[in-house]
């Protein structure tokens, strides 16, 4: 059976802490940091049933499910870590490539101008190393910034989706005569 079916049957009274496997001892609402008080003296079993119904309603109406959002957040964190590692690797070997390019350019300039091609190659190699490493640092910083921005956007989207779910869940419970905070 899926989670919603278990919740609907009342067999899943306390929400498992985002699928961790063992009941947390909290109500469905409290697990999501939504606090519910029965204003008409509803029994705990009725409150659990109402919370389960509102969970399903909120999930259907927002297109979000806290279980899925928690899994998505974990996946997003792994993606962010991978992107940061890739960003750190950006530009590796740029100093050596710059030295080769600089040496080649220096040797060519030395030959064309009638100077010592060997000395010109050395100067070109030194300039190439500096230039290559600078470009590498700039590229790495840009890649890191981009990875950080993408991670922040994913976190904001997940937080917004969860907040919308909580609003819908709360509205449903308020319609069933509960005070929700």
Structure confidence at residue 42 (pLDDT): 93
Structure confidence at residue 90 (pLDDT): 65
Domain count along the chain: 2
Token couple for 4: 């919603």
Looking at the structure, tell me whether residues 97 and 145 fall in a common domain. yes
Please report, in angstroms and rounded to a whole number, the separation of the first and last CA atoms in the chain: 31
Other beta carbons less than 10 A from residue 169's beta carbon:
26
Structure confidence at residue 3 (pLDDT): 40
Question: Residue 86 carries which DSSP code?
Answer: H
Distance from C-alpha of 134 to C-alpha of 140, rounded to nearest angstrom: 10
Residue numbers of the domain that contains 34 = 3-68+163-180
Looking at the structure, tell me whether residues 87 and 152 fall in a common domain. yes
Cα–Cα distance list, 56 to 26, 59, 121, 168 (Å)? 18, 5, 71, 10
Structure confidence at residue 19 (pLDDT): 40
Structure confidence at residue 6 (pLDDT): 34
Looking at the structure, tell me whether residues 103 and 139 fall in a common domain. yes
Structure confidence at residue 51 (pLDDT): 95
Structure confidence at residue 11 (pLDDT): 29
Q: For tokens 């609907």, name the residue.
A: 8
Looking at the structure, tell me whether residues 59 and 122 fall in a common domain. no
Token couple for 111: 């030959």
Structure confidence at residue 85 (pLDDT): 80
Q: Spell out the residues 6+ positions from residue 38 whose beta carbon is closer than 8 angstroms to its own.
A: 46, 47, 177, 178
- 180 beta partners: 36
Digitized pLDDT (tens) for each residue of the chain, 181 residues in all = 334 333 333 323 333 333 433 445 678 888 888 999 999 999 999 999 999 999 999 999 999 998 888 788 888 788 778 777 876 776 666 666 666 666 666 666 666 666 676 776 667 667 666 777 777 777 778 878 887 888 889 889 999 999 999 999 999 999 999 999 9
Looking at the structure, tell me whether residues 64 and 137 fall in a common domain. no
Looking at the structure, tell me whether residues 153 and 170 fall in a common domain. no
CB 125 within 8 A of CB 102: yes
Looking at the structure, tell me whether residues 58 and 89 fall in a common domain. no
């Amino acid at each position: 059976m899926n989670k919603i079916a278990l919740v609907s049957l009342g067999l899943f009274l306390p929400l498992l802490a985002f699928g961790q496997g063992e009941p947390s001892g909290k109500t469905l609402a409290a697990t999501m940091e939504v606090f519910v008080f029965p204003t008409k003296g509803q029994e705990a079993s009725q409150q659990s049933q109402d919370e389960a119904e509102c969970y399903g309603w909120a999930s259907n109406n927002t297109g979000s499910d806290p279980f899925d959002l928690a899994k998505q957040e974990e996946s997003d964190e792994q993606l962010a870590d991978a992107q940061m590692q890739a960003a750190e690797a950006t530009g590796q070997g740029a100093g050596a490539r710059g030295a080769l390019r600089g040496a080649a350019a220096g040797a060519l300039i030395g030959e064309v101008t009638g100077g010592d091609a060997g000395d010109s190659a050395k100067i070109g190699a030194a300039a190439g190393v500096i230039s290559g490493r600078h470009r590498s640092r700039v590229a790495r910083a840009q890649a890191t910034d981009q990875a950080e921005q993408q991670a922040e956007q994913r976190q904001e989207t997940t937080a917004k989706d969860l907040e919308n779910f909580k609003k819908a869940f709360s509205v449903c419970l308020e319609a069933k005569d509960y005070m929700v905070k």
